[in-house]
Chain A
C-alpha cells in the first residue's frame, strides 16, 4: 500500500475545466471519499489518478513514483467500476485470474490467489458462472475480488454501490469498510452520496465545479463547512440556508428579514456577522439544532409549516422562514399541521453564518 499525492492536477477541455488545480494527499492506508454532485469532476479526478485519461497539468504520485506519464497498467492500481465492468465472456474464475495472467504469474500461483480472494468474498461457489448469471450483489463482489486479487498499491472505486438496491447498498457499505480496515488499504472512493462518504471515509474531499471545496474528516466537514455549497451538500436532510441582513443596534448585532423580524446575535456570532463584506449574511442551521415552538419565546422568529414527514422515529418538518425552507426534526409526538404558524428558536452556538456575497463561512476573528 502507498500514499497518493495529487499535485495541482488539471484537466481541461478547451475553456471547460473538469478538474481545476486540485491538490490533496491521501495517506498510506487512508480511505478518502471524493464526493460532490454529478459533473463536479470527481470521476474525472479518479480517472486521472488511474491514468485512463491524459492530464492537462499537474502530477500524480503513488508511493515513491511520479506516475503522471505511466500507462494505467504500470501504475499498480486496482479499480472497481460503477457498472462493475466484469468481462461478460469470461467466467468469474477467469475474471479474477485476468489481472494475474496479464502479469504473467505461474498458473498454480494464479489459482491459489483466485481461490483465496474468492474465499474472502464468499464467491467460491460462483467461480464457474458467467457474470450475467449473477445478481447485482454477487457481481459487485466479483468486481471487488478482481481488485483485491493482486494486492495493488491503491484501490480506486467509482461509485461501486450506486447500482445496488437500498438494502444491499447498506450491507456492502459495511463490507467495503470492513475490507478496508482488514487490509489497511489505501482507497480513493468516488460517490455522489454524501452519506456513503460520511459513513465510510477517514477523510472526504468535497468537490464542486472542478474545484476542491474542502478536504477534511467527515466530522470536521459536517461541523465546520467552509462555504455554503459544502454546508448544503453534506448532511441529510441538508443544512437550511436563510438569506438575511445584518444590522447594528448600538452594541448589539441582529439579523433582519425582509418581513421585519429581527434575530439578535450572540457576541461571537455578532463578530462573525460584522466580518461579512456586505450586510448580506446567510444563516445556516442543521435540522437538529433548531427548536420549534407553538407560541413566541424570546429570540424566536416566526415561520409557517409547509410539510410534515413522519418517518417513524423522527418527524421531519419543513417550515417557511422568511424566503427559505427550514428543515426541522421533531419528536414523533409533536403534532403540527401544514400552514400552521410556528416559532423557531436557533441555537446560537451551533448556527452557521455565511457571507452572502462570497458564500464563504464567516469567522469570528
Chain B
C-alpha cells in the first residue's frame, strides 16, 4: 500500500456540537420516579402492615416501621387447622383451580384458532378475526347481567364452570391475537420444508411450529392465568356460596367478618399477589417478547 500524504488546509475549522441540557429527558426521568413511587408505595405499605400486630396497625400517628415485626398473620392464614386458615386455603385452592382450568382450556382453543387465522385463507376470515377482537372493545361489566342470566338458565350459577366459561370468553380474544402474531412470524417455508421432508400437516405443526412458538404459548398462558386469578366482579356475582369462592371475593369477606383485622387482610392480599409476581418474574422475557413480536419486522 502506498499512502497518499494528506494535509488539512490551514483555514479549515472544526465545528463542535453544542450540547445543552436535555430537559425532556430529565422531565421523563422525574415522571418515571414519580410513577415508581406511586406504584411501589401501596405495595410496601401492604407488606409492612401485614407484619404488624393488630394494635400497631391501628396506631395514630402510624408506625412507619413495625416496632415488633411478626409473622403471626401469615401462620394464621396458612394453618389448615384454624378456621381462618381453612377458609383462606380453600379460596386459594378455588382460585388456583379456576385459573389453571381457564389457562389450559384457553390455550387448547387459542393455539389451533390462532394457527388457522395465521395460515389458512377461508371465507369470512377477516370478519371472524375482527369479531374476535370486537369483544375487547366493550367493558367487561356490560356483559355481567346477560351472562348471569345465561348461567342461571344453564344452571351453572355457584359453580366454577360458570367462571371458567366466562374467563375463557374474555381471555381468548387476546390469546388468539397474541398467538397469531407469533405464528405469523414463523416462516411458512419451515412447515413446507417439513411436509416435503415427510411430515404430515399436523406433524409439521406439532414438531416444527409448536416448539418455535413456545415462548408465545407460555406468555399467553401467563396472561390468561393472571387474568383469571385477579378477576373480581364476575366471581362476586356468580358465586354466593362460601365454599366455591375464589380469592378476590374471599378476601373481601375479611372486610366484613374480620373488619378490623387490617394486618390479616394485608397478609392475605400479599399472598394472593405472590403467584402473579413469581410467574411474571420467571417468565417476563417471554412475556415482553410476545407483546412486541409481530409488532416489529425483524
Residues of A within 8 A of B (CB): 47, 50, 52, 71-73, 75, 77-79, 81-83, 85, 87-89, 98-99, 102-103, 146, 156
Tell me the minimal C-beta distance from B271 to chain A in angstroms.
37
How many A-B contacts at CB < 8 Å in the complex? 57
Task: Give residues 222-249 of B contacting A (CB, 8 Å).
Answer: none
**Binary CB contact string for chain B from 182 to 198 against chain A (1 if under 8 A, 0 otherwise):** 00000101101111111
The answer on a CB contact under 8 Å between B199 and A102 is: yes
Listed in ascending order, the chain B residues whose CB lies under 8 Å from chain A are 187, 189-190, 192-201, 203, 208, 211-212
How many Å lie between the Cα of A103 and that of B190 in the bound state? Answer: 18
In this complex, the member of B187, B190, B196, B200 whose beta carbon has the largest number of chain A beta carbons within 10 angstroms is B196
- B200 x A79 contact (CB < 8 A): no
In contact, B196 and A78 (Cβ under 8 angstroms)? yes
Asked if B197 and A52 sit within 8 Å, CB to CB, the answer is no
Q: Compute how far the CA of A87 lies from the CA of B212 in the bound complex, rounded to whole angstroms.
A: 9
* CA of A308 to CA of B208, assembled, Å: 53
> Which single residue of chain A is at the shortest CB-CB distance from B211?
A89
In terms of DSSP, what is the predominant structure of the interface of chain B? helix
Q: B192 touching A52 by the CB < 8 A rule?
A: yes
Tell me whether B212 and A71 are in contact (CB under 8 A): no
Option from B190, B192, B211 in Cβ contact (under 8 Å) with A72: B192
Contact call A83/B200, Cβ cutoff below 8 A = no
Q: Which of A50, A82, A85 contacts B190 (CB 8 A)?
A: A85
Min Cβ gap B217→A in Å is 14
Judging by beta carbons under 8 Å apart, are B200 and A71 in contact? Answer: yes
Taking the nearest CB of chain A, how far is it from the CB of B21, in angstroms?
A: 42
Given A83-B187, A85-B187, A89-B211, A73 and B193 contact (CB-CB distance below 8 Å): no
Contact assessment for A102 and B211 in the assembled complex, using a CB-CB cutoff below 8 Å: no
CB distance from A81 to the nearest CB of B (A): 5
CA distance A210 to B126 in the complex (A): 28
In the complex the two chains form, is A103's CB within 8 Å of B189's CB? no
Smallest CB-CB separation from B200: which chain A residue?
A: A73
Contacts of B189 in A (CB 8 A): 81-83, 85
Residues of A within 8 Å of B196, CB to CB, are: 50, 52, 72-73, 75, 77-79, 156
**A50–B199 CA distance with the chains assembled, in angstroms:** 13
- 29 sampled A-B residue pairs with Cβ under 8 A: A50-B196, A52-B192, A52-B196, A71-B200, A72-B192, A72-B195, A73-B196, A73-B197, A73-B199, A78-B196, A78-B197, A79-B192, A79-B196, A81-B189, A81-B192, A82-B189, A85-B187, A85-B192, A85-B193, A87-B190, A87-B193, A87-B194, A88-B212, A89-B211, A99-B198, A102-B197, A146-B193, A146-B197, A156-B196
A79→B211 CA distance, assembly (Å): 22
List residues of chain B with CB within 8 A of the CB of A79.
Answer: 192-193, 196
Residues of A within 8 A of B194 (CB): 87, 98, 102
Q: Contact: B192 with A50, CB < 8 Å?
A: yes
CA distance A78 to B195 in the complex (A): 10
B187, A103: Cβ atoms closer than 8 Å: no
A52–B195 touching, CB < 8 Å: yes
A241 to chain B, nearest CB (A): 37
Write the nearest CB–CB distance from B215 to chain A, whole angstroms: 11
Report the minimum CB–CB distance from A315 to chain B (whole Å).
Answer: 27
In the docked arrangement, what's the CA distance between A156 and B190, Å?
Answer: 15
A83 vs B192: C-alpha distance when bound (angstroms): 12
Contact in complex: B192, A102 (CB < 8 Å): no
Query: How near does chain A come to B196, taking the closest CB pair, in angstroms?
Result: 5
Cβ–Cβ < 8 Å partners of A156 in chain B: 196
Chain A residues in 8 Å Cβ range of B192: 47, 50, 52, 72, 79, 81, 85
CB distance from B72 to the nearest CB of A (A): 50
Looking at the assembled complex, report how far the CB atom of B185 sits from the nearest CB atom of chain A, in whole angstroms: 11
Taken together as a complex, chains A and B put the C-alpha atoms of A123 and B189 apart, in Å, by: 23
